[in-house]
Amino acid sequence: MARSPSPAIRSGKTTELLRRTRRFALAQRRCLVVKFAADTRYSECDAATHDGVTHTARSAGVLSELGEDWRDFDVISVDEGQFFPDVVEFAEAAACAGKTVLVCGLDADFRRRPFGRILELVPLSEKVDKLTAVCAECGRDASFTKRVTTDEALEVIGGWEAYRPACRPCFVRRDEPEPAPARTPTKVRALPVHRDAADSPEPSSPASTGDACPE
């Protein structure tokens, strides 16, 4: 059993899942891709990546809906495994039946808490690959998913309008409005007043000192 978990959206989980599935298909292995039925963002019936790559898939709300059909395949690839409540039991049963099981999904939700039962697969898996995305704010490696809406429900299927990949500093930073730039005090300078000669007051006579001159 192999897994490609990631705590960040846009890390290429489905892209990697389909790449590995096609690799097995080139070797003439019979492959089954399973997608979560409620995820119809890009296709009603196919597994699809953000950049438009698709693969024929079976839709299911729980993996038990597949019945015994999975036994006809050599490789079973499960997309968005965090949404399937029976992913652990299904993956273990298929692996013990000799099937190659590939599961991709988010291992943490937007609160950085375990998402679904993905982490229960870790001790049952032969190989685990953890992928990262690119932080939408600073461009560094992103290991977390940051919800940018006020919706508090756990399972909200959405794209860029609802989620952003984030690195640790950008995830923990609160989105507060930037303070307004400080105003520079306005300096007031007195300008010289120019008067016309006609407006100037008459010069005062010099004060006389001493006695008046005799005639």
Check residue 178 and give its pLDDT.
39
pLDDT over threshold 60, residue 98: yes
pLDDT in tens, 120-140: 999 999 999 999 999 999 999
Check residue 141 and give its pLDDT.
93
Q: Which is more confidently placed, 182 or 35?
A: 35
Banded pLDDT at 198 (limits 50, 70, 90): low
Check residue 176 and give its pLDDT.
47
Residue extents of the structural domains in the chain? 2-131
Q: Which residues are designated catalytic? A: 80
Check residue 168 and give its pLDDT.
94
Check residue 179 and give its pLDDT.
44
φ, ψ (nearest 5 deg) of residue 10: 55, 35
Question: Domain 2-131 sits in which CATH superfamily?
Answer: P-loop containing nucleotide triphosphate hydrolases (3.40.50.300)
Q: What is the mean pLDDT of residues 23-30?
A: 96
Q: What is the mean pLDDT of residues 5-32?
A: 85
Check residue 187 and give its pLDDT.
53
φ, ψ (nearest 5 deg) of residue 17: -60, -45
CA-atom Rg of the chain in angstroms: 36
Average pLDDT, the chain: 81
pLDDT in tens, 174-185: 654 434 445 555
Burial 57-67 (b: 16+ CB within 10 A, else e): bbbbeebeebe
